[in-house]
Chains A and B, each alone.
Chain A
Amino acid sequence: MNQFKLAEEPSSSELRVERACISIGRVQIVQDVSFNAQAGEFVAIIGPSGSGKTTLLKAMTGELAYSGSIRLAGMETGKLSAEYMAQMRGVLPQASQISFPLNVAEVVGLGVIDRRQGRDARARRIKDALAKVGLHGFEGRGYQELSGGEQQRVQLARVLCQVWEPVADDGSPRWLFLDEPVSSLDIKHQYQIMQLASGYAAAGGGVVAVMHDLNLTATFADRILVMKAGKRLSFGRRDDVMQADLLSDAYDFPLALTRFGQSGVPLVVPGADTAG
């Protein structure tokens, strides 16, 4: 009968969101959401448009104020300085307009925040990051002249530069917060970027991504948070969440699941009564 049982000891390798509520102006967008993500796993946040996914992500990255608790490595994120947070996590926003004609190398270079880096190390880091997102040799191109998909990959390269090693020198994991990282990419690059993100997790970093594409989510996510109308509808392992009735409820649309290939990855398709 002990209601005051001790909270679980916060681990230095997790993101823990507890009863987070987020309001923009007077409108409460996110209500009472709890979930956690461990270093080494890819956690996807899914749900229909307007369900509060991006708002929740923005609270985790320090952009929006929240009530409740959002702890990264045991520390309340709302109390950390911008500099400190920048060492721990990188953030890929949904769309990125830049105001002046920077070239690609200059945009990516903004992510190299470690000022101990020499000029050569810096240039090499930029080059490697561009190669990772499949934009090898794009250094001198004007950012504003690129397609939307290319711009998104340049931004991801910038974020990668910021948190290059998934595990910091002191052994603490670094985090990637991605807001619809593949929304404007073609299918080849969608898979490349998703592989990159899950590779980051496999190497010991933490990845939290807002996702629209359920099939990519089913392929790459370890755990999934399902949001609906600002609340948590479900949170759990991929196979527990990827259920036809749960997803149909989340999206208010009949969805069915099938298994594809030998890997047995669930494939989400419209439900039977919508096919006709």
Chain B
Amino acid sequence: MTGIVLPERAARRFASSGGNREPLARAALVLLAVVAVLTMLVSLAIGPIAIPVLDILPHVPGRVLAASAGAPEGVSVRDWIVVTEIRLPRVVLGALVGAALAVAGAVMQGLFRNPLADPGIVGVSAGAGLGAALFIVLGNTALAPVMAVLGIYAVPLAAFIGGLITTLLLYRIGTRGGITSVATLLLAGIALGALTGALTGLLVYAADDQQLRDLQFWGLGSLAGSNWEKVASAAPIIGVMLVSVPFLARGLNGLTLGEAAAAHIGIRVQRLKNISILLVAAATGASVAVSGGIGFVGIVVPHLLRLTIGPDHKYLLPASALLGAILLIAADTLARTIVAPAELPIGIITAFAGAPFFLWILLRKRGLTGL
């Protein structure tokens, strides 16, 4: 864990030199943006076929504008198709999902005033999964009319609604008088996760072979099967979330003082809570709909960032989006190359990295959480 402890010490030294962590946070944002671009390029380049990415990418905008699918001159058709039809949608989807999960985690932690809150851990992802599973299995039969109206947005919307209901339930159960009990929150999350898992399990009996495979892919989470249609279904929801979340920064900062004190400094707490819950559910729903249950991104990313740049949401939220995108693209690159030509579900990798991390936070915070 030295890699994690060291930045914390550095941050502490920095903090004791005057208390203003903003320059550090701004530098971190620039660094993260650069690393995000590099990670994307590397992920596009490596795989079963090595691709000269820098030769191909400059042609992409022109082709999109010309609405032409063919390979430009001087680029092999194979390389062109691998990049534009396989790897690029996958990298874009990975970036969107990683950013959404990390920001959803950061917002949820701010809302519940607890560093252990995360859509995956407290059952919101499971609720979103149930919503999406309903449409995957019943989309051609019982829910066909809805599917016909909503098209590719049906599954993300259903996942959003499932996530929203779970988040609202959690908030009602876990929070009393503005104070969230961590134990209640986590235990309620386990119960809600089990319940939605059981309901999803029931759907298995109504599923055919292809649907069973789809459901299986959900349990572990994967970006395999990424295509532009999935990007198109998730991008608007995640995009709206990423654009609106900076407006929550001041409110979430105020909420660190508690709900009453936040109201005293002029924050409309109820409105803040409503918007936060909506955004968390929307982002989680959209992510789960296209990539299944990828865990721990929402807990690892904001926590690492708080240790280094501090808990100011003005910087924490955009930095979470960037680091979330970086980590998920990196994990996905690992997932599709480590056992090539086969592929690991990315959820396995994030769980391997994230679960011990979660336990580490738990041990450090044991005194604070009262668990």
Contacts and interface: CB of A to CB of B under 8 A. Distances in A.
A associates with B: yes
B264 A91 contact: yes
B265 interface: yes
B114 A93 contact: no
A86 B264 contact: yes
Given A63-B263, A110-B254, A103 B19 contact: yes
A103 B268 contact: no
B265 A142 contact: no
Given A96-B258, A98-B256, A106 B19 contact: yes
B310 to A, nearest CB: 7
A271 interface: no
Contacts, number: 92
B343 interface: no
A113 B19 contact: no
Point out which of B12, B21, B257, B269 has the most chain A C-beta atoms below 10 A from its C-beta.
Answer: B257
B232 interface: no
B20 A123 contact: yes
Contacts of A101: 306, 310-311
A197 B22 CA distance: 32
A103 B15 contact: yes
Contacts of B12: 142
27 contacts: A58-B260, A61-B264, A63-B263, A81-B268, A82-B264, A85-B264, A86-B265, A93-B258, A93-B264, A97-B258, A98-B257, A98-B258, A99-B255, A99-B256, A100-B110, A100-B115, A101-B310, A102-B310, A102-B312, A103-B21, A106-B21, A106-B310, A106-B312, A113-B265, A139-B19, A140-B16, A140-B18
B13 to A, nearest CB: 9
Given A91-B261, A110-B254, A140-B19, A100 B266 contact: no
Point out which of A61, A82, A142 has the most chain B C-beta atoms below 10 A from its C-beta.
Answer: A82
Given A83-B268, A119-B22, 16 more contacts: A63-B260, A82-B263, A86-B266, A93-B258, A93-B264, A98-B256, A99-B113, A100-B311, A101-B306, A102-B256, A102-B310, A102-B311, A106-B21, A139-B20, A142-B15, A162-B265
A86 to B, nearest CB: 3
A103 B269 CA distance: 23
A206 interface: no
A113 B311 contact: no
B46 to A, nearest CB: 37
B20 A105 contact: yes
Contacts of A62: 263-264
B127 to A, nearest CB: 24
Contacts of B258: 93, 96-98
Contacts of A113: 265-266
Interface string A94-135: 001111111111110011010000010001000000000000
B253 interface: yes
A62 B265 CA distance: 11
Nearest to B316: A100
Nearest to B252: A100
A99 B17 CA distance: 23
Interface of B: 12, 15-22, 110, 113-115, 253-258, 260-261, 263-269, 306, 310-312
Contacts of A58: 260
A93 B260 contact: yes
Nearest to A98: B256
Nearest to B259: A63
A237 interface: no
A113 B254 CA distance: 10
A40 interface: no
Nearest to B268: A82
Contacts of B310: 101-103, 106
A83 B266 contact: yes
A205 interface: no
A220 to B, nearest CB: 23
Interface in A188-225: none
A255 B311 CA distance: 49
Contacts of A104: 19
Contacts of A141: 15-16, 19
A98 B310 CA distance: 14
A141 B255 CA distance: 20
A139 B253 CA distance: 17
| A-B complex: 4 closest residue pairs judged by Cβ atoms | A86-B266, A139-B19, A105-B19, A99-B113
Contact of B17 (A82, A140, A142): A140
B269 A82 contact: yes
A140 B266 contact: no
Contacts of A119: 22
B265 A111 contact: yes
A98 B287 CA distance: 31
A266 interface: no
